[in-house]
Amino acid sequence: MEEIFSVVTKNENETMLMAEKLAHTVGKGVVFTLVGDLGAGKTHFVKGFVKGMGSNALVTSPTFTLLNVYEGGKVPIYHFDMYRLSSKEEAEELGFNEYFDLNSLDGVVLVEWPQQVDGLINCPHIEIKIEKLDGNNRKIIVGSQK
Ligand code: ADP
Ligand code: MG
C-alpha cells in the first residue's frame, strides 16, 4: 500500500463528511477496501460516502447479508462486509469475484474486512485504513494498491 494522504477526524460526523467529499470525485469502476478494528468507523465512512454519491439509501452494516446494494446515486454502490467469511474461495463460491473485475464493474465497491478474503481483491484499489487514536479521534489513511 502506498500512502496518498491521511487526516485525523475528531468524531463520526467528521469521518462521514470526509468520506462524503471524497465520493464527489468518484465514479464507476472504483474499489475501496476499508481496514480497521471493530468500531473504528468503517461503516460510518460508508454512510458518508453513500451520501456523497447522491444516494439517500439507509446504510447498515452488511454483517449478516454480506452485501448491501445502495441505489439512487451516481452509480450503484456495493457494500461488502467479509467478516463472516474466512477465505477467498468462499467469496468466489458466492460469485463475489465478479465485483473485482474493473472492466465490467458498473458501480463502486466498498469492502469491510478484506483481510478475511485475502487474494480476492486483485484489481487496483484504494485502501482506507482507520486507526483509533485517543477518545473519538481516528486517523484515516488513504492509500493506493496496484
Ligand atoms: P466499524 O464499521 O469499523 O466496525 P462503525 O462505523 O460501525 O465501525 O462504528 C464506529 C463507532 O465509533 C460508532 O459508534 C461511532 O459513533 C464511533 N466513533 C467515534 N469517533 C468516531 C470517528 N472519529 N469516526 C468514526 N466513528 C467514530
Ligand atoms: Mg462495520
| Position in ligand 1 atom list of the atom nearest CA 37 | 3
> From the CA of 12, how far away is ligand 1's center (Å)?
6
pTM: 0.98
Q: Is 55 in the pocket of ligand 1 (CB under 6 A)?
A: no
- Please state the domain count of the chain: 1
- pLDDT tens digits along 34-93: 999 999 999 999 999 999 999 999 999 999 999 999 999 999 999 999 999 999 999 999
| DSSP-assigned beta bridge partners for residue 81 | 112
Q: Is 42 in the pocket of ligand 1 (CB under 6 A)?
A: yes
In CATH, what number is assigned to the domain containing residue 62? 3.40.50.300
Q: Is 41 in the pocket of ligand 1 (CB under 6 A)?
A: yes
Host domain of residue 61: 2-145
Half-sphere exposure of 63 (CA within 13 A, CB side): 5
- pLDDT tens digits along 103-138: 999 999 999 999 999 999 999 999 999 999 999 999
Question: Of 145, 144, 142, 133, nearest to 6 (Cα)?
Answer: 142
- Using the structure block, give the residue that is written with the C-alpha cell 439509501: 57
Proportion of the chain in helix, strand, coil states, percent, rounded to 5: 25, 30, 45
